[in-house]
Structure 1
Amino acid sequence: MKPNSSGSREAGAGTLLPPEIYALPALEAAPRLLGQHLVRRTEDGEIRCRIVETESYGGAEDKGSHAYGGRRTLRTEAMFSSGGAVYVYLIYGMYHCVNVVTAAEDEPHAVLIRAVEPLTARDAELMARYRGIAVRKPADLSGGPGKLCRALRIDKSLNLSRFDLKEGAMWIEQGEPAESLSIVQAPRINIPYAEDYADRPWRFYLQGNPYVSVIDPQARPFAPD
């Protein structure tokens, strides 16, 4: 999908995501975050993106989670916040990843945002400028957690901020309802250490969206319980 060519919009005009989504366990929140709008405030203005790919990390019992077994460290502390908190961490010493903390305080649930789609051409231009690359295909821009964090200038300075408040540098607004979207689910990416949890279909993405990081030929239609 091409970004809308219009760059006009009223700053702060969107409606915040309903708080009940942040109160859900990560496995329920992850597909519901698809189609919602991630907003990043920068010195060059606001950038708005549609969330198109997520992964669920579901609490202390999930062997793929940083908080598996209730592990509470300086790095994972944000996961124990109440739903709506921002959890940012660094991988390979160079790539940031951004997560939406969900569920109740002291229940370490988080949804990794894996890919976003700029809403307008202006958003895409700013993101490409921040990436500092030539974008040959949409996924080059923001198809992957490290790529989108660079495109949106997300780093650990945003850790423990809030997605449910507009006073900060980043928040989530209502976009399209999940039930109106074509969603598929597949195993999460690069977590062989998760053992029997590695193959659970806890990655969700919009079918056919060119910004998705990895297309799984075995992905199946999302079927909510």
Structure 2
Amino acid sequence: MQEFNDNMIRQYRLMSLQGIITINDKDHNVEEWYNQFVVWNRVQGFKQPRNYFDWCLMKVQGEGAKNITAAVKINCLGEQEFPSLEEMKEILLKTYKMKRNPEDIINELKSMKINKNDDIIKFNQKYTELYNKLDDKFKLRLFTSDYLDAIINKVSVWRNIKLETKNKDITIEEALEAAEFYDKLEVELRIKTQNNNGFSKNKINKNTNFNKNPKFNNNNNINNSNNNHNNYNNYNNLN
């Protein structure tokens, strides 16, 4: 029964794909292809690239299909990592040397969010790459506050830049540079703290071992001294 249901779902998806345009070396309306797949993936409930990659690839032919396939990577665990729909769109635009719609770039920049454990340098590289694709007149529609919203999950970095910009204005480029500086500073402080904690623990362990050594144990020395004193008194009493 489950196999029958799976086949029915597969047939339905194949039929629904017919309404999506096909990208090839002659006809490549990438923006329309992308917008149609955004809706299609949402209807199908697909969120992860591995779920929708093959379906998207079925509607791409020629050089575009080759370049998208080449973007599949193998991670350190030996697992395949598939490009996202946005990344496939970028690949197709580069393949056919098309310029992205500035509105799409602005929307993507405003929706970008770094995760707490992400590398801020890599994040900034992607942010800068998109930002530099905009003409100057479109860059004016983005503000430093938009970038700060994008890195809000890096709480310490975000807070430091907010303090720095409290009484002065800085550009997005300056904010990018400041974010990398404060992130590096935070890492260095964390390493220094860990090293100091390690040194303190070693010192405590050494002191503990020192105190456990009968030769240097103060309590033992006191007891030995008392014993010697008692023995001395007993000796005098006998005499």
TM-score (normalised: structure 2):
0.24
Higher-strand-fraction structure = 1
Higher relative contact order (CA 8 A, sep 6+): 1
Higher-helix-fraction structure = 2
Larger Rg: 2
